[in-house]
């Protein structure tokens, strides 16, 4: 058994929920005068669109995400995992370009 397998044994297969709300000040600093970024979605095959709908419904149901009307947005895509299932990935590259990094 390698170290990676030992680490994976510590975490549950499914998260029971999100952590409790805590009083923490947090903000993401952006380059001054940055405009909201909202890129067009990547094209997806019908099977990917169904998977996206299913995964988003599950995340909404479990409270990990919520509906938003923000002018900010990032496209999503899928990466096929070794077991054949699809991993939802969010492309934050455009947002990262205007984010002031922590030092």
pLDDT in tens, 13-55: 777 777 788 888 888 899 999 999 888 889 999 999 999 999 9
Radius of gyration of the chain measured on its C-alpha atoms? 17
Please indicate, yes or no, whether the overall pTM of this predicted structure exceeds 0.85: no
Helices of type H across the chain? 3-10, 46-62, 93-97
User: For the chain, which domains are there?
Assistant: 3-97 (3.10.10.10)
Q: Give 2's contacts (C-beta < 8 A, 6+ positions apart).
A: none
- The dihedrals phi and psi of 77, each to the nearest 5 degrees, come to -150, 170
């Amino acid at each position: 058994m390698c170290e990676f397998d030992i680490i994976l044994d510590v975490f549950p297969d499914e998260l029971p929920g999100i952590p409790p709300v805590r009083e923490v000040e947090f903000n993401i600093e952006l380059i001054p005068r940055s405009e909201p970024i909202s890129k067009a979605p990547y094209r997806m095959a019908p099977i990917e669109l169904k998977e996206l709908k299913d995964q988003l419904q599950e995340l909404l149901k479990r409270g990990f995400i919520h509906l938003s009307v923000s002018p900010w947005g990032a496209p999503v895509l899928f990466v096929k995992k070794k077991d054949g299932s699809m991993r939802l990935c969010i492309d934050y590259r455009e947002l990262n370009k205007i984010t002031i990094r922590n030092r």
